[in-house]
Amino acid sequence: MAYNKHYITKDRNVNLPYQSVRRMMIVGVSLVVASLFIITVLTLPATLVTATHYPAKLSPQLQTTLQQTTPDTSIRVIVHLNETANLNKLTLSAAEIPRRQQVMSALQQTAVSAQATLLPQLQSIQQSGKITQYRQFWIINAIAVTGTPEAIAQLAAHASVKQIELDEQRQYFVPPASAIVPDELLNTTAVFTSPIQSWGINRVNAPHVWHGLNVDGTDVTVAIMDSGVDWQHPDLLPNYRGNLGNGSFDHAGSWYFAPVPTMTEPIDLHGHGTHVAGTAVGQNGIGIAPGAKWIAVGLTNETGLIFDSAIHAGFEWLLAPNGDPSLAPDVINNSWGASSNETTFVEDINALQAAGIVTVFSAGNNGPFSQTISSPASYTNTLAVAATTIRDEVAWFSSRGPSSLTSEQTPYISAPGTAIYSSLPDNKYGYNHGTSMAAPHVTGAIALMLSANPTLTHAQLLEQLKNTAVSINSTHPNNDAGWGLLDTYEAIAPLVTTGNLQGVVFYNDVPQPGIVVSVTNNSGHTIPYITDGSGRYSATLAPGSYSVQVHSFGFEPFTTSSRAVLINKTTLQ
């Protein structure tokens, strides 16, 4: 298809076919002195026609890029079509798998219908060599295209095209500007129980959930959408969903590498994702939900740079891993983010929420000033997590709300995010800090809650987190810490069948506050409690038999015989 291009000379506007202009440029070379001005203008990119004719269809960033590039340069863009699936009109099933199938079908039907009119032209342009590759999406009804400015102009002219924007490549993993020295761990007053290795695990009371409530994330699937995951790490391999046991593995529905989909075995060339995965689901005391299965989407190589199209591809895959919505995760951890006002992934998040999949995002590391929260953490349908220090203060680097994109509380909740010990590639471990480390604490907590009660809705999960978070600021909630510090024990205890074990520690008939009381279950796991100002301790526990031991400096430990905790009953010690 021939297109007339507008070129501006010194004297007037001239409308000439592209090939004619090229002939004028060749002749003009021999007239350097006499026609310098004309030569300079005529060699400007032919792409000015796109900005002139289709400004409403081209994002500002794309218009700028077109004005600065040459006609034969390939540009990565995302072409959005007019139709959008109205998921709000669907009568969604309460059952998990049918609901996800409904959402996927509605999105796919819209995309197939809308893109059908554009595909013939797209394929024709590709055959001409002006488009090198394209990739269709149904989660957002868009097509990622790599093509010349002329190809972009032709696509923009199509009636079915709503907007074309740059396929931006960004650094989504931005750590805080200053590191926290791991020696800060030495100042903790938290009670640690072997083999716990991360202070954050104890601070949010995860061991109380595992050993006191018998909940560890079993029957829940967590997705890590990040730089990738070292699936062979000893604290991650056991609960990788692609691990079928007995040395057999199937990665097809458990791993997707967006930049190179043919890379079918999980990798992490950056290290960020492996650390995040360890905090969410790692074994041996580094993860919140060690009983949950995990899957992963890799977004980047060792540089940490990510194309927007890779993220769209990742979200789409997660809605139906290997094309099967029954393999979709229950919760997705997203420890990445960009500018707070970017709305690039709103449609993806809405689709995932409609399918009943919870999306947890790190708030960002752009604090301490207000309105610095990253996107997509700044969206309405995401759960944004701020970072706290070992002193239960909001970390200075943690991004603050409010968000201009939603009236909801952002950030929503806080979790430990400084000097977090977790897994690293090649069977290693290390400390990292940032809201990237805080988010997987909450992702793991969501897994524990769904393990305790699989019927919980998105709204019920948020309400439970809100009602049980520990306030760490004078105002509650606030735009620094949200509703407060995550407490997994308080969040999950009401969701399971429990009883109560209570007692008072005396010395010479005087109640003793601040005494460590260790409650040991039948499996030999010990859960620490601390007496209050009246010397009283209270342990909400799953029904069973428990022994109690009292520890205090300068006194011999005192151990009681086994005590039975009964359903909805209080056992006094």
Q: For residue 22, what are the β-bridge partners?
A: none
Residue 211 annotated among the catalytic residues of the structure: no
**Whether the predicted model's global pTM rises above the 0.85 cut:** yes
Q: Catalytic one among 226, 308, 330, 348? A: 226
Q: Catalytic one among 211, 272, 275, 441? A: 272
Q: Give the separation between CA 112 and CA 137, rounded to whole angstroms.
A: 9
Q: For residue 559, what are the β-bridge partners?
A: 549
Q: In 3D, which of 40, 63, 65 has the Cα closest to residue 53?
A: 63
Contact 162, 174 (CB under 8 A): no
- Side-by-side strand order, sheet with 161-166: 131-137, 142-147, 75-81, 161-166
CA of residue 389 relative to chain centroid, distance: 21
Interior/surface letters 117-130, b for 16+ CB within 10 angstroms, e for the rest: ebeebbeebbeeeb
By the 10 Å C-beta count (0-12 exposed, 13-18 middle, 19+ buried), 300 is classed as: buried
Residue 436 annotated among the catalytic residues of the structure: yes
For 263-306, how does the pLDDT look when each residue is reduced to its tens digit (9 = 90+)? 999 999 999 999 999 999 999 999 999 999 999 999 997 788 99
Beta-carbon contacts of 434 under 8 Å, excluding residues fewer than 6 positions away, are 175, 176, 335, 362, 365, 387, 397, 417
Contact 352, 359 (CB under 8 A): yes
Per-residue tokens: 533: 């100002």
Q: How much is the pLDDT for 301?
A: 78
- HSE-CB for 303 with a 13 A CA cutoff: 7
Q: How much is the pLDDT for 567?
A: 67
For residue 46, give the 3-state DSSP assignment: coil
Cis (ω within 30 of 0) for the bond into 368? yes
Q: How much is the pLDDT for 180?
A: 46
Q: How much is the pLDDT for 204?
A: 97
DSSP, residue by residue, 424-472: ETTTEEEEE-SHHHHHHHHHHHHHHHHHH-TT--HHHHHHHHHHHPBP-
Residues of the chain with pLDDT below 70 are 1-54, 178-196, 553-557, 559, 561-562, 566-573
Q: Catalytic one among 374, 436, 451, 518? A: 436
Q: Give the separation between CA 131 and CA 129, rounded to whole angstroms.
A: 6
Q: In 3D, which of 38, 47, 64, 41 has the Cα closest to residue 3?
A: 47
Q: How much is the pLDDT for 304?
A: 85
Q: How much is the pLDDT for 56?
A: 83
Residue 30 annotated among the catalytic residues of the structure: no
Q: How much is the pLDDT for 178?
A: 57
Q: How much is the pLDDT for 340?
A: 73
Q: Residue 414: count other Cβ atoms within 10 Å of its Cβ.
A: 33
Q: Residue 496: count other Cβ atoms within 10 Å of its Cβ.
A: 16
Per-residue tokens: 175: 């750590």
All domains in the chain, ordered by first residue: 1-44 (no CATH), 50-167 (3.30.70.80), 217-457 (3.40.50.200), 497-572 (2.60.40.1120)
Q: Decide the pairing of beta strands 243-245 and 248-249.
A: antiparallel
Provide the residue type at 530 as one letter: I
CA end-to-end span of the chain, whole Å? Answer: 87
